[in-house]
Amino acid sequence: MFWTNGGPGGSSAIGLFTELGPCRVTSANSTERNPWSWNEYANIFFVDQPVDVGYSYAEYGEAVTTTQEAANDIGAFMVIFFEHFTKFRGRPLHLAGESYGGRYIPVFASAIYDKNAELTAAGVAPINLTSVMIGNGCTDFSTMLLSYYDAQCADPTLGLPISDISSCVHLKQQMTRCEQRFKDSCLDIFDAIDCRAAFNVCVAATDAHFKNPNRNYYDRTRPCTGMTSTNDCYPIIGHMVDFLSSNTTQDLLGVDPAKRGPFHYESRAVFDAFQTTYDWYAWPAPFYLAALLERGVRALVYVGAADYICNWIGNERMTLGLAWTRQEEFRNQSLAPWLVDREVAGVMRSGGGLTFATIDGAGHFVRVF
């Protein structure tokens, strides 16, 4: 299994040391075993990408500015990986990621799938791409943007709406205008300047109401008054940064001198580069996901029910909007409870190779927090 965090510019050390890796960081110099590690069931490698994220670097100043460019690097990396680690050849490969990984993973998987034709022609065993997994993804910003009204004012899963009536009425008016502007500038015809303007106006409108009570973007049920950074709400992130910044850890990992010193769990340079190229809006990641389903690559979209920033409502709408030949097998299914130890853990819909599931009691970072 391949794992990447999102951002763009987020380090996969977050997934490794705070979510699904074999151990969790508890302080600047200590860890504890994670009994719920995905490593109990699969061989996982955590990749910091694009270049400049985490400990990664380029020797000659190369930069990655779009998901498409990143996909080229990941496709090449996967070929090299299986060329050198021959014992894994032919085993099922699953690509997984969260948040902006909802845009990364469909494009990365498509690059790997298409590269198999080259490998076969060269007499090399193809990569056995089996499934993709997207956790709390922002795969489609057109559906996610409009879902921010629902997440504040019309989500029955969390009880009463979290915003007051006057705010919800104002927000509903804004969303009607936003939907039209986004459709005109980002979907029907992509105009980079107008699309960004529409996006910024709509996000500002939803943020104004959501930020007012200092709510947590990553978990609507978890107060985080005065939040100025992710560390404020989730101290484990600070522990991870201290752990990966220490000389002892960097010595053990053999970190290159070019990246020695304080560890950064997000790269602002990568984030800004992706903003500059309009990567958020320009690449139709749902089209790639539908194309993978068409070719028999299974997909799981799972979402912590309390997440706001990449919430379950927007993700469900994205999955229902996918177009492939077996789409009705998925759409015709109603959401139904799924169980863990006979207790309801969320709701799900599955059909045509696609599964959508919510996870009760979880926010954006499903495993850890």
Catalytic residues: 99, 307, 364
Q: With contact defined as beta carbons under 8 Å apart, do 150 and 313 qualify?
A: yes
Q: With contact defined as beta carbons under 8 Å apart, do 52 and 270 qualify?
A: yes
Can you tell me whether residue 156 is helix, strand or coil?
A: helix
Instruction: Report the distance separating Cα 147 and Cα 140, nearest Å.
Output: 11
- What does DSSP assign to residue 127? P
Q: With contact defined as beta carbons under 8 Å apart, do 93 and 116 qualify?
A: no
> Which alpha helices (H) appear in 85-191, and where do they start and end?
101-121, 141-153, 165-182
Instruction: Report the distance separating Cα 175 and Cα 180, nearest Å.
Output: 9
DSSP codes, 323-343? --TTHHHHHTSPPEEEEETTE
Burial 198-210 (b: 16+ CB within 10 A, else e): bbeebeebbeebb
Q: Which two tokens stand for residue 112?
A: 């790997």
Q: Phi/psi of residue 204, each to 5°?
A: -60, -40
Q: With contact defined as beta carbons under 8 Å apart, do 276 and 332 qualify?
A: no
The angle at the Cα of 136, spanning 131 to 355, to the nearest 5 degrees, equals: 40
